[in-house]
Amino acid sequence: MVSASVLPQLTTKHSLVLSLEQSLVSLPKEPSNSRLNQLNRSAQHLSLSQAQELICQFFLEELRKNSPESVLEKFNDLFIEPTGAINSTPCQALNMILRSHSEETFIYTLKRSIYILVNNWSSARQQKYVQQLIQLLSTSLNIQTLYSFTRKRLTLWRRNFVNSQDYQELKLFAAKYENRNQGHWSHRYSTYLLVSQTADVSKPLEQQEAARTYSKQLKARFKYELAMYTARSSPTTCQPNSSPNPTSLGGEVVRLIQQIIKKRSRFSYASLARIFLNQNQDICYKNFKQNILSYLFFSTDNPGLAERLKTHLASHLDILYKEYDRQPWDNHLLLRTCKRLIEYLTTMNQRNPSLLFVTLISQGKSLTLAILLLKIVLLCPQTHFHLECCLAQLIQYYKNQSEAECKWLINFLEVIQLTLTIYIEDVQYNLVNMSKGNSHSRATDEENIYRIFSQTKCVTELAQKAA
């Protein structure tokens, strides 16, 4: 049974829905032809939005009262193989929508109903019912044997939904975390694709909330598995690592994490961001834009590349929000500027890859790009969400290409995922030199000298980060 605490809030007044429901339930259970006509006339007085809310309220009540198996059966009886009495409240509401000739209203109602269930089952960690629901939607799609006009329309519109991008987005909730390395390569990065759903205001609120919940679960699972895998990856033992590797990099992930951690200068990246903000208070926006480039490329190991990137970014920043150049910068301008910087480095028009992105990745500079993006997010943490949406847009742009063709992109996605997890999440990763004090150490490979240690960040550090 799903507790009421995980149920989403209704988008309309509860009393309105109940009064509408009572007006339909009060009709006879087995109406005569005259009463049936009266029933249809009563239903016609409902607006489409009221009919939609009745259906959504129905599933919310079912979740509160019944088991997931029973709720799935009710979903089947309404949307897949209707068998309810003619005066059933949700049936009458759905029939009104079907008679309205508005496929858009039907699809939106179907999606809201689906994501009410998905949101609650995901929150309750009952993923198997989400998988069953998604499979159920693709059954009984043949309209040739149907005689009822409304039944044909119901099946046709549901079939259109199954063949749409909406259904592909829904299938992200069905993929098992353990099988993320199977199937299409983009499935490994469902976290970003789910985040992009939460940003799309055209989607039902229930879908946005379900995507937000499941994305958080995937992030938490990845963070935990990464910490466990690195903790048990010791160069001094021949025993295989019993923890699953959450990346597609194989054993290379340990070397890459070491490389990411070594990128830190004598100041941590978070400290560097705080120092920059403190030192650049009360200056005009034009000077702030110039100084932010020095911050981004501070302590780089490739001065030539850094200079070329600075020149390219400077040409964009010089004309960015030029009307504010003489004014002191504020947090609003900081947010907008950091968002534009992320777009310059990923996708310029919310669809196509930017020139800088293609240039850096094609030259094998995934880690350089990842560190630049990390510095931007640390400077303005509110842009983390925007960065994830941009990454989702890149995945969507390349998803029709094969994994072999996208190895360079996949490598970057792994690098940026590791980088953000190491520096943004609440787990501290450190390198410890295992050769110190061991005169018998014969290690010649620098990778084997160091061991990765991970631990939860202390409360004070997390408070400073939040501030």
| Higher-confidence position of 232 and 441 | 232
Is 60 exceeded by the pLDDT of residue 438? no
Name the pairing type of β-strands 450-456 and 427-433.
Answer: antiparallel
Asked if residue 154 lies in contact with residue 79, where contact means CB atoms within 8 angstroms, the answer is: yes
Region label for 121, one of left (φ > 0), alpha (ψ between -120 and 50) or beta (otherwise): alpha
CA distance 123 to 215: 11
Written as six digits, the tokens of 297 are: 């490329």
User: What are the structural domain ranges in the chain?
Assistant: 4-26+39-172, 247-435+448-466
CA-based end-to-end distance of the chain: 39
Burial 279-301 (b: 16+ CB within 10 A, else e): ebeeeebbebbeebbebbbeebe
Looking up tokens 């949101």, which residue turns up?
119
Residues, the chain:
467
Asked if residue 198 lies in contact with residue 172, where contact means CB atoms within 8 angstroms, the answer is: no
Looking up tokens 């149920």, which residue turns up?
7
pLDDT tens per residue, range 317-352: 999 999 999 999 999 999 999 999 999 999 988 789
Residue 386 has a pLDDT of 96
Which residue spans within 45-204 are E strands per DSSP? none
Region label for 140, one of left (φ > 0), alpha (ψ between -120 and 50) or beta (otherwise): left
CA distance 430 to 442: 23
Written as six digits, the tokens of 177 are: 């975390």
CA distance 394 to 409: 9
pLDDT category, 123, cuts 50, 70, 90?
A: confident
Judged by DSSP in three states, 379 sits in helix
* Selection from 144, 34, 27, 24 nearest residue 96 by Cα: 24
Residue 26 has a pLDDT of 34
| Higher-confidence position of 158 and 422 | 158
Annotate 415-429 with DSSP letters as a single string: HHHHHHHHHHSSEEE
